Amino acid sequence: MSPRPRSSSPIVALRGGGLSAIEAGPETGTTPSPMTLLDTIKNTFVPIHREGYPFIAAFGAATLFLGYFSSILFWLGLILTGWCIYFYRDPERVTPVDDRLVVSPADGMVSAVGPAVPPRELGLGTGEMTRISVFMNVFSCHINRAPVRGRITRIEHRPGKFLNAELDKASSENERNGLVIDSPNGTVAAVQIAGLVARRIVCWAEQGGSIGIGERFGLIRFGSRVDVFLPSNAVPRVAVGQTAVGGETVLAEFGGAAVAPLVRIS
Amino acid identity for residue 1 in this structure: M
Catalytic residues: 224
Q: Which amino acid is at 106?
A: A
What backbone torsions phi and psi does residue 10 show, to the nearest 5 degrees?
-80, 140
- CA atoms of 9 and 195, how far apart (whole Å): 48
Are 240 and 217 spatial neighbours (Cβ–Cβ below 8 Å)?
Answer: no
